[in-house]
Amino acid sequence: METADVVVLGAGAAGMFCAIEAGRRSRRVIVLDHARAPGEKIRISGGGRCNFTNLDIAPERFLSANPRFALSCLSRYTARDFLARIEAAGIAWHEKTLGQLFCDGSARQVVDMLLRDMAAAGAELRLQTEIAGLRREDGFVVETSGGPIRTGSVVVATGGKSIPKMGATGLGYRLAEEFGLRLVETRPGLVPLTFSGADLEQLKPLAGVAVPKARVRCGKAGFDEALLFTHRGLSGPAILQISSYWRAGQAISVDLLPGTDLAAELKALRGEIGRSAVATALARFLPERLARSICDELGLAGNLADQTKAALARLAARVQDWQLLPQGSEGYRTAEVTLGGVDTRDLDARTMEARRVPGLFFIGEVVDVTGWLGGYNFQWAWASGWAAGQVA
Ligand code: FDA
């Protein structure tokens, strides 16, 4: 039977990074993936430019049943460490906003860097390989479409459930259960929210309208980022971020003008443009289509000067404290990540090894650690892959 020191399941961000680290320790590493190409999510990430890390990594920017779990990996392998690799590879980069680092050129450069480093470290990549099973037998035996492989360490890096069209499967979760690890319920994260009924009727005609900065809140979480109206509801970074915190049945509140006191602004404008339609005045602050839609909804016809104080207060509340009840999300079809996953209570935070199954590791998105939008999820993939790669 073929043998290896380490078999990595999944040639995504975490799996490839782990393979490089283990290979550099002179371990014989084989990386298996059923896809035709490695790192497909890296390739399409960040609009093709890969938001490969974030300079403001902090544990509270990760969701997990145990938010402290990620700290060990994230503090030992930092955003600066990954940035140093990007620079050493000669990949030009820039900070877009909020600490988010992107390639100037193409995300493909990151995939190529990982492939080069894997080859240099002697790690072998086998694509279009199905994984039929995993059993313990003198170490582990991985059953694959190319035959069985005996190995001392298995690193599960098969990612989450999002975007099944790109090769996502539930394999990692199944393997975790087979080996007795607990799972935290999975659900789509960083995903557009959908609406029904009267809410949808209001939102649909606004599809395509963008608000550069809105404050979206759900429970204690809140984000000030761009918001986008879609045919089925709301999207844009602020909505994707809040979607990870939202649970079915919860309302979200939206302030379309954070940092502005709209009631006071409108009062001041009465003197200046009192004869203008309310919608025209509101369009000084919001996209025109949105301003008109809100005024129509509230029945605010007539001039700004004609409006009662109560009517303007109602308008300000509608703009700055808009309550909405999402009906659902676009689901795994478009979600950027999967929340939940392998329960961190069953993993060693330092090594990512299963506490009760020596030699079995889980890294990346399959684990119950999910970052905010903005490079956090790749940093988790690199950091957890790095940690496992030091010991597997
Ligand atoms: P990943 O999903 O990358 O890799 C898993 C691998 O396992 C895949 O190659 C898959 O084919 C393989 N696999 C799965 N099941 C298998 C099976 N049964 N047999 C064999 N192989 C199997 N994050 C970020 O930080 N910045 C960003 O810009 C973006 N942008 C972005 C855009 C889009 C559209 C998406 C969908 C996601 C992002 N993300 C992101 C999130 C990021 O892509 C994600 O968190 C990481 O890719 C997770 O890395 P993993 O290696 O854990 O899984």
Report the half-sphere exposure of 76 (CA within 13 A, side-chain side): 15
Among protein residues, the one whose CA lies closest to atom 36 of ligand 1: 336
- Domain 192-329: homologous superfamily in CATH: Translation factors (2.40.30.10)
Top CATH class of 2-188+338-389 equals: alpha beta
CA 103/CA 95 separation, integer angstroms: 9
The answer to whether the CB of 172 is under 6 A from ligand 1 is: no
DSSP-based helix, strand, coil % in the chain, nearest 5: 35, 25, 35
CA 374/CA 378 separation, integer angstroms: 9
Query: What average pLDDT does this structure show over 179-187?
Result: 98
Query: What average pLDDT does this structure show over 314-331?
Result: 98
Pick from 45, 63, 128, 384 the residue to mutate for probing ligand 1's pocket: most ligand atoms within 8 Å of its CB.
45
pLDDT-based confidence at residue 305 (cuts at 50, 70, 90) = very high
Pick from 16, 18, 34, 41 the residue to mutate for probing ligand 1's pocket: most ligand atoms within 8 Å of its CB.
41
- Of the candidates 45, 74, 62, 16, the one whose C-alpha atom is nearest the C-alpha of residue 384 is 74
Mean pLDDT of the residues in the chain: 97
Q: Give the list of residues 6+ apart from residue 135 with CB closer than 8 angstroms, or none.
A: 141, 143
Q: How far is the CA of 253 from the centre of ligand 1 (A)?
A: 31
- Of the candidates 148, 90, 61, the one whose C-alpha atom is nearest the C-alpha of residue 380 is 61
Among protein residues, the one whose CA lies closest to atom 4 of ligand 1: 12
- Specify the pTM: 0.97
Domain ranges of the chain: 2-188+338-389, 192-329
pLDDT at 165 over 90: no
pLDDT-based confidence at residue 113 (cuts at 50, 70, 90) = very high
Q: How far is the CA of 153 from the centre of ligand 1 (A)?
A: 22
Q: How far is the CA of 280 from the centre of ligand 1 (A)?
A: 45
pLDDT tens digits for range 199-211: 999 999 999 999 9
Here the tokens at position 342 are 């392998």
What is the pLDDT, as a whole number, of residue 167?
A: 85
